[in-house]
């Protein structure tokens, strides 16, 4: 830690020197009025709670002297405008956003590194454009710190910096209510995974029917943009991806990684790990799964053609094929989260399918693997793809040759963008598993109370909902401005009145239920428009006679 402190000190000195000579991003003139701001969210029909939370915050922002427009658009369009239009004249300013609770996120590395490390600004998860050398050093250091207590300290410091710099304003770790028809499924086989809920791999594969209905039928409010093992297209497609493509390790219900497609994962040293596949595994097209496939699943990402996954393999120095089933992975440095954030994150892909596709991409400009959609995806996981329409449905069938085959016959997800339609179908039995609900949580509680054949499940997620700022551009390039916005987000009121109590307060990218990794002493931004104005005034902002916010006179 002393060595790291000296390094961090040098980083801080360098960052201050850079700040002195840097050309500022902002172009505002002294006393100029802060221009209108557009705040994005999804539509009310898709996610009513997110829409209402955004509408409330937009009204509160006006109390700071801002002109603000709430622009609600479909989720697919929102992804395009926010994720893919990060810079330029059409760049977004502020948006409601969410990161869902995926199993591999039980270790904080994915959020700590990928969300905010400057290497992810162009194409990776750092879509807000946050860049801080001090934070980068901490994010890198926690990855290689194998001492648990020391790593905790580094992550506490990292969370502190983000809480002070406010590139995002977190407001809730949702406890999304979910319904299961207990006249179809054995309730005792529903698995609640730590920080995830019941919509997890172990439920999807172990859910046991009580009668002749053996299909898991669920729904999503989002269009199913793509099914691609090298592209994370959103929450609903990810549920499909984890069932079609296998992973060397899986995060168990307890939140810890365990060997899965790999029979064994054996560390030879702090930087060498021997991974051996289970015998007899087959791709869905009948070809055997081999060590060459294991190696290629990582090498394909290292080509740069899968930018969303690049951070998950950055620790890999080399891969040596030992025999038909085993590989030795050598890391460029010790990696505390390697099992969780790499071995339990990377999808195993068939080299015979993907190498020709990737090789072709390498000859093209401005193209990557995220654009690829197989006609019928080929994986080695517990379910096989049967048919899909990205606007309507996806149908998977059980892979009966799998080493741990699902109990259900099929897994079906229908696209139901309207919350009322979803509610109608769970009550009539057209769907029998409601895992995604963006409407009034109290409604589902009432449904479960009124119907003895429907059970309600709810647990806090390690995912979070928040407001993200494009910190590349004014006015969000100013930390005081972002802190002022944080003061007008009525966190507890949103949880109590919009989420109807189904959530816990969020103040970090680490969920409070993940107690060991969550910094309990982060600064809080009490809801107060007056306090927000005071922060702005202290930073040199002022108001004209009509109450419009003006940029600092010394800017």
- In a shared domain, residues 478 and 438: no
Task: State how beta strands 68-72 and 168-174 pair.
Answer: unpaired
Q: Considering the domain boundaries, does residue 517 fall inside one?
A: yes
- In a shared domain, residues 335 and 260: yes
Sign of torsion, CA 280 282 288 289?
A: negative
- In a shared domain, residues 436 and 394: yes
What's the CATH number where 265 sits?
Answer: 3.90.76.10
- In a shared domain, residues 123 and 206: no
Q: Residue 3 pLDDT more than 80?
A: no
- In a shared domain, residues 67 and 165: yes
pLDDT tens digit sequence for 315-363: 999 999 999 999 999 999 999 999 999 999 999 999 999 999 999 998 8
Q: Residue 4 pLDDT more than 70?
A: no
- In a shared domain, residues 140 and 190: no
Residues 273-311: b if buried by 16+ CB within 10 A, e if exposed: bbbbbbeebebbeeeebbbbbbbbbbbbbeeebbbbbbb
Q: Considering the domain boundaries, does residue 478 fall inside one?
A: yes
CA-based nearest residue to 218, from 233, 202, 198: 198
pLDDT of residue 28: 58
Structural domain tally of the chain?
3
Judge contact between 241 and 227, C-beta under 8 A.
yes
- In a shared domain, residues 434 and 471: no
Identify the weakest region by mean pLDDT among 23-37, 362-376, 378-392: 23-37
**Comparing 299 with 419, which gets the higher pLDDT?**
299
In which band, very low, low, confident or very high, does the pLDDT at 154 lie, cut at 50, 70 and 90?
Answer: very high
Q: What is the mean pLDDT of residues 155-170?
A: 98
Q: Residue 5 pLDDT more than 60?
A: no
Identify the weakest region by mean pLDDT among 18-22, 27-31, 136-140, 211-215: 18-22
Q: Residue 23 pLDDT more than 60?
A: no
Round to whole Å and give the CA distance between 450 and 322: 59
Q: Considering the domain boundaries, does residue 317 fall inside one?
A: yes
pLDDT tens digit sequence for 88-133: 988 999 999 999 888 888 899 989 999 999 999 998 899 999 999 9
- In a shared domain, residues 158 and 202: no
pLDDT of residue 19: 36
pLDDT of residue 242: 95
In which band, very low, low, confident or very high, does the pLDDT at 18 lie, cut at 50, 70 and 90?
Answer: very low
Residue corresponding to tokens 């499924």: 185
- In a shared domain, residues 157 and 43: yes
Q: Which of 457, 472, 494 is the last residue of a domain?
A: 457
Q: What's the chain's average pLDDT? A: 92
Q: Which of 413, 439, 457 is the last residue of a domain?
A: 457
**Comparing 411 with 24, which gets the higher pLDDT?**
411
Q: Considering the domain boundaries, does residue 231 fall inside one?
A: no
Q: What percent of the chain has pLDDT over 70?
A: 94
Q: Which helix (H) or strand (E) holds 435?
A: none
In which band, very low, low, confident or very high, does the pLDDT at 286 lie, cut at 50, 70 and 90?
Answer: very high
- In a shared domain, residues 213 and 271: no
Q: Residue 510 pLDDT more than 90?
A: yes
Q: What is the mean pLDDT of residues 65-71?
A: 98
Q: Residue 22 pLDDT more than 50?
A: no
Q: Considering the domain boundaries, does residue 134 fall inside one?
A: yes
pLDDT of residue 554: 62
Q: Which of 457, 478, 496 is the last residue of a domain?
A: 457
Task: State how beta strands 215-220 and 549-550 pair.
Answer: unpaired
What's the CATH number where 164 sits?
Answer: 3.10.105
Identify the weakest region by mean pLDDT among 5-14, 260-269, 384-393: 5-14
- In a shared domain, residues 514 and 433: no
Round to whole Å and give the CA distance between 462 and 102: 8
The whole-model pTM stands at: 0.76
- In a shared domain, residues 271 and 342: yes
Q: Considering the domain boundaries, does residue 95 fall inside one?
A: yes
Q: Which domain holds residue 351?
A: 249-358
Q: Residue 15 pLDDT more than 50?
A: no
Q: Considering the domain boundaries, does residue 239 fall inside one?
A: no
Judge contact between 441 and 499, C-beta under 8 A.
yes
Q: Considering the domain boundaries, does residue 375 fall inside one?
A: no
């Amino acid at each position: 830690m002393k060595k790291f402190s000296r390094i961090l000190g040098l980083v801080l000195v360098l960052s201050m020197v850079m700040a002195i000579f840097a050309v500022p991003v902002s172009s505002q003139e002294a006393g100029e009025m802060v221009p209108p701001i557009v705040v994005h969210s999804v539509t009310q029909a898709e996610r009513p709670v997110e829409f209402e939370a955004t509408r409330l915050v937009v009204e509160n922002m006006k109390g700071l002297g801002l002109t603000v427009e709430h622009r609600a658009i479909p989720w697919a369009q929102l992804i395009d405008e926010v994720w893919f239009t990060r810079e330029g004249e059409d760049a977004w300013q502020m948006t409601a956003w969410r990161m869902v609770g995926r199993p591999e996120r039980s270790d904080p590395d994915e959020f700590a590194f990928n969300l905010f490390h400057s290497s992810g600004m162009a194409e990776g998860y750092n879509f807000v454009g946050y860049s801080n050398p001090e934070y980068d050093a901490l994010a890198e250091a926690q990855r290689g710190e194998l001492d648990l207590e020391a790593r905790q300290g580094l992550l506490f410091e990292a969370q502190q910096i983000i809480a002070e710099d406010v590139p995002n304003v977190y407001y809730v770790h949702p406890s999304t209510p979910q319904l299961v028809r207990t006249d179809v499924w054995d309730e005792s086989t529903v698995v609640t995974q730590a920080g995830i809920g019941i919509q997890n791999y172990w439920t999807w594969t172990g859910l046991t029917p009580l009668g002749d209905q053996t299909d898991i039928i669920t729904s999503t409010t989002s269009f199913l943009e793509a099914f691609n093992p090298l592209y994370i297209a959103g929450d609903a497609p990810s549920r499909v991806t984890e069932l079609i493509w296998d992973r060397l390790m899986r995060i168990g219900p307890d939140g810890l990684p365990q060997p899965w497609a790999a029979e064994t994962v054996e560390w030879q040293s702090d930087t060498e790990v021997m991974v051996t596949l289970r015998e007899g595994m087959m791709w869905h097209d009948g070809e055997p799964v081999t060590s060459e496939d294991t190696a290629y699943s990582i090498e394909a990402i290292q080509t740069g053609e899968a930018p969303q996954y690049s951070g998950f393999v950055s620790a890999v120095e080399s891969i040596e094929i030992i025999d038909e089933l085993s590989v030795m992975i050598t890391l460029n440095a010790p990696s505390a989260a390697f099992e969780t954030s790499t071995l339990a994150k990377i999808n195993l892909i068939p080299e015979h399918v993907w190498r020709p596709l990737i090789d072709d991409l390498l000859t093209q400009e401005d193209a990557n693997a995220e654009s690829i959609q197989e006609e019928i995806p080929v994986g080695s996981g517990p379910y096989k793809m049967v048919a899909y329409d990205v606007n309507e449905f996806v149908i998977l069938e059980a892979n009966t040759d799998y080493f741990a085959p699902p109990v259900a016959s099929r897994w079906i997800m229908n696209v139901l963008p309207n919350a009322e339609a979803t509610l109608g179908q769970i009550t009539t039995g057209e769907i029998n598993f409601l895992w995604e609900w963006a409407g009034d949580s109290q409604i589902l509680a009432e449904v479960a109370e009124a119907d003895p054949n429907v059970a309600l499940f709810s647990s806090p997620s390690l995912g979070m909902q928040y407001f993200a700022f494009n910190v590349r551009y004014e006015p969000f390039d100013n930390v005081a401005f972002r802190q002022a916005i944080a003061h007008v987000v009525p966190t507890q009121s949103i949880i109590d009145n919009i989420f109807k109590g189904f959530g816990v307060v969020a103040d970090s990218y680490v969920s409070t239920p993940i107690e060991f990794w969550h910094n309990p002493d982060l600064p809080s931004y009490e809801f107060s428009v007056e306090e927000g104005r005071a922060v702005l005034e202290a930073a040199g902002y002022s108001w004209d006679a009509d109450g419009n916010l003006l940029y600092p006179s010394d800017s």
